[in-house]
Amino acid sequence: MIKIKNSIVFALFTFTFVSAQNTVVTPQQPIDWVNPLIGSDSDYGISNGNTYPAIAMPWGMNFWTPQTGKMGDGWAYTYKSNRIRGFKQTHQPSPWMNDYGQFSIMPVTGDLKFKEEERQSWFSHKAETVTPYYYSVYLADHNVTTEITPTERAARFRFTFPESDKSYIVIDAFDKGSYVKIIPSERKIIGYTTKNSGGVPENFKNYFVIIFDKDFQVNSTFSGDVLGNALEMKADHAGAVIGFKTKAGEKVNAQVASSFISYEQAELNLKEIGANNFDQLKEKGKEIWNKELGRIKVDGGTPDQFGTFYSSLYRSLLFPRKFYEYDKNNKVVHYSPYNGKVLSGYMFADTGFWDTFRALYPFLNLMYPELNTQMQEGLSNAFNESGWLPEWSSPGLRDIMVGNNSASIVSEAYLKSGKVKSYDIENLYKALIHGANNAGPLKAVGRAAADSYNALGYVPNDEVNESAARTLEYAYDDFAIYQLAKALNKPQSEIDLYKKRSLNYKNLFDPKYNLMHPKNKDGKFMEPFDPFQWFNGFTEGNSWHYSWSVFHDVQGLANLMGGNEVFVSQLDKVFSSPPIFATKDFKGGVIHEMREMQIANMGQYAHGNQPIQHMIYLYNYAGEPWKAQYWVRETMNRMYHATPDGYCGDEDNGQTSAWYVFSSLGFYPVTPASDQYVIGAPLFKKVTIQLENGKSITINASQNSEQNRYIQTMKMNGKVSTKNWLSHSELMKGATLDFDMSSTPNKKRGINKEDFPYSLSNE
């Protein structure tokens, strides 16, 4: 039975939701299906998404979220919590990265309580309304209802107070260096917070301004646990309290904006609200979300499928966030998270390319090429300002994860753009070459062990950790550079070099296991070795997870394994193997990704983490595409739901959501730096995609059902196609795809070599 929470605002339909698991419906407005609480039932030990409800505009500079966790806790909001400490402006991309530039606002009544442990209030999800554009909750201890509706850099709050002589609002600028100033004559509070988790210059500040519509009768500031009467406070932990008398049901409004540049810029950002009152701004936010979500219209599915699709689409439209502002002349400017200067041009932040190069950025290239142009300009600016491309930005360079996957991000955007771009692709190509041949100031910037990789053709396991993962990702990254070098007509010697390096994955293949095996400097495989053991050369996984990371040359990998039949057998073993993650010799601790694989009951297929998410689609390269169709649908059905526990691992910056969005459409970008998508199995009876260029893609699968998950035939623009792939450039011209679906696999379709997707070895 589908449980529809009161916390989700749903449109009214003419059917009953109860016991409606198999009811086929058509949504009226996409926004009404979104549940921002998806993935929020998580904690340190197990992740069902590790998300918080982001009350925000698409790619907004500032998000807002109710805060249930302690100040500084990466798990800012958890679904199981029952008390709220404040409403936080957040820039957190992940609990593991934590936050920066955060502060909170909290209404209280009765005896003045400003410390977060004392001011917190009980709440219930039954009295909580959560949408991307609007949040409301009843704070039981204070008898106050708080409402929020945001713009990209500002927001409106509306507090409904009881009759009280002691009504207050607490502004908490958090610790690690903060400042507040109350200006009663203007009903205004200004301040800044410097709290961050790294990746910022020394002069980093998030400046904020808050303007109320009611005179202050109480004006206080605090430093840590000490409350005083000063109107201004600079301290390690500064905050402000304003107070007034309220009538029963009286609504107090606040407008808030912030800036990484200055107070004056924060005031400019406040103008995003304009003359709109709360309800008008809320309606505008709803229209914006409906427009973006409505670019993909799905028909013919169950309520759970609609909810999961549009909730995943919402999560795919949050990161990377806009880290730029508009100055008094309406020019684009940004505070540089790399050198601390205020400079012209675009900047984006809060994404990890190790996760998002796989599906999130390919989705942006399909649906939002103009926005991605701005993102590419932002990357060029990042290189100019730091000397490196960020592999993980939050907001500046961070030392986490492996790979040099900026190569895929840059190359794919240019290759799929039609080459009509306003940004400096030559500067970005220079950045790729620099990053591919040098170790950076942090291990996760540039390429760790770059000299050894270039000399030996692999990263030695006795030189740097996660060596096999680095080797495999560097090889794909070299392929991306090879593709871009060809497109830019670079010297043939340079093209040949990166093509050669892209075959370096072969250097780690061990025929003894038919899997990838880390090597030492002396050319010998690392021993002892157990392909089921996590880490030991791999990143958050084992050899069964990472051996498939040959995105660009699956045929070459199959050849190493002994041909397509053996290759398929190895793929099958991923699902038939036990979900073990450690041996008696394992010395590391159990991490949440291990548990998530173990409890999913899909063998070694650890969909909750990114390295293996493309693996299902590899059956298409070896003549058994029906197995991809089976497992894609199985994963969508079992691993995703529009509920607080709706993911099966970390929902990292939209990547895991983008996997679901693509897979629902029926195709997936296994090799982002190519022109192809690999076919899976469409989920809905009909999908209409409105492209940014005015063209549309229509996907028809009228016989689709729970049982009918197999493709019997496919037509593209009326012509039968046996190919297991689709061309990006052809789709961008507009297309109609017709799928004839069945409950039994067609084992004669897509079995010939000419039907297989691109592999470098077939060039």
Rg of the chain, C-alpha, whole Å = 26
Does the residue 15 lie in any domain?
Answer: no
Long-range contacts from 596-602, C-beta under 8 angstroms, 24+ separation: 596/46, 596/47, 596/648, 596/649, 600/638, 600/639, 600/648, 602/575, 602/634, 602/635, 602/638
Q: Are residues 116 and 252 in the same domain?
A: yes
Q: What are phi and psi of 711, to 5 degrees?
A: -85, 120
State pLDDT tens for residues 681-727.
Answer: 999 999 999 999 999 999 999 999 999 999 999 999 999 999 999 99
Q: What per-residue confidence (pLDDT) applies to 420? A: 62
Q: Which of 710, 718, 713 is nearest to 739 (CA)?
A: 713
Q: How far apart are CA 75 and CA 54, in angstroms?
A: 13
- Containing 396, the helix (H) or strand (E) segment is none
Q: What is the CATH classification number for the domain harbouring 73? A: 2.70.98.10
Residue where a domain stops, chosen among 267, 294, 321: 294
Does the residue 745 lie in any domain?
Answer: yes
How many domains is the chain built from?
Answer: 2
Does the residue 14 lie in any domain?
Answer: no
8 A C-beta contact, residue 396 and residue 337: yes
* All residues at 6 or more sequence positions from 340 whose CB lies less than 8 Å from its CB, including other chains: 201, 202, 203, 204
Q: Are residues 332 and 289 in the same domain?
A: no
Does the residue 385 lie in any domain?
Answer: yes
Q: Are residues 285 and 308 in the same domain?
A: no
Does the residue 334 lie in any domain?
Answer: yes
Q: Which of 383, 273, 398, 376 is nearest to 320 (CA)?
A: 376
8 A C-beta contact, residue 280 and residue 253: no
The whole-model pTM stands at: 0.95
* All residues at 6 or more sequence positions from 257 whose CB lies less than 8 Å from its CB, including other chains: 153, 154, 155, 208, 209, 266, 267, 269, 270, 272, 273
Residue with tokens 């995703």: 640
Q: Are residues 80 and 135 in the same domain?
A: yes
Does the residue 13 lie in any domain?
Answer: no
Q: Are residues 163 and 219 in the same domain?
A: yes
Q: Are residues 265 and 409 in the same domain?
A: no
Q: Are residues 735 and 667 in the same domain?
A: yes
Q: Which residues of the chain have a pLDDT value below 50? A: 1-21
Half-sphere exposure of 541 (CA within 13 A, CB side): 27
Q: What per-residue confidence (pLDDT) applies to 589? A: 83
- Cα 56 versus chain centre, distance: 14
H-state helical runs in 294-403: 303-315, 353-356, 360-367, 369-386
The beta strand positions in 125-249, using DSSP E, are: 128-130, 135-139, 144-150, 154-161, 164-172, 178-183, 188-193, 206-212, 218-223, 226-228, 232-235, 238-246
Characterize the bridge pairing of strands 135-139 and 128-130.
antiparallel
Does the residue 644 lie in any domain?
Answer: yes
Q: How far apart are CA 663 and CA 617, in angstroms?
A: 10
Q: What per-residue confidence (pLDDT) applies to 26? A: 59
Q: Which of 193, 9, 175 is nearest to 89 (CA)?
A: 193
Q: What is the CATH classification number for the domain harbouring 727? A: 1.20.1610.10
Residue with tokens 């219930």: 124
Q: How far apart are CA 518 and CA 2, in angstroms?
A: 46
Residue where a domain stops, chosen among 294, 325, 352: 294
Both tokens of 685, joined, read 């009876």
State pLDDT tens for residues 149-177.
Answer: 999 999 999 999 999 999 999 999 999 99
Q: Are residues 272 and 311 in the same domain?
A: no
Q: How far apart are CA 724 and CA 480, in angstroms?
A: 22
Q: Are residues 111 and 242 in the same domain?
A: yes
8 A C-beta contact, residue 159 and residue 135: no
Q: How many residues does the chain have?
A: 763
Q: Residue 637: what residue type? A: N
8 A C-beta contact, residue 142 and residue 110: yes
SS3 198: coil
Q: What are phi and psi of 147, to 5 degrees?
A: -125, 145
Q: What per-residue confidence (pLDDT) applies to 207? A: 99
Q: How far apart are CA 724 and CA 700, in angstroms?
A: 17
Q: Are residues 284 and 306 in the same domain?
A: no
Residue where a domain stops, chosen among 243, 273, 294: 294
Q: What per-residue confidence (pLDDT) applies to 27? A: 55
Half-sphere exposure of 531 (CA within 13 A, CB side): 22
Q: How far apart are CA 479 and CA 484, in angstroms?
A: 9
Q: In which domain, by residue range, is 210 found? A: 31-294
Name the packing angle between helices 425-436 and 406-415 (round to 10°).
150
Q: Are residues 253 and 304 in the same domain?
A: no
Q: Are residues 270 and 415 in the same domain?
A: no
Both tokens of 417, joined, read 């753009």
Both tokens of 101, joined, read 């530039």
DSSP tally for the chain: helices H, then strands E: 19, 36
Does the residue 501 lie in any domain?
Answer: yes
* All residues at 6 or more sequence positions from 666 whose CB lies less than 8 Å from its CB, including other chains: 679, 680, 681, 682, 683, 699, 701, 737, 739
SS3 116: helix
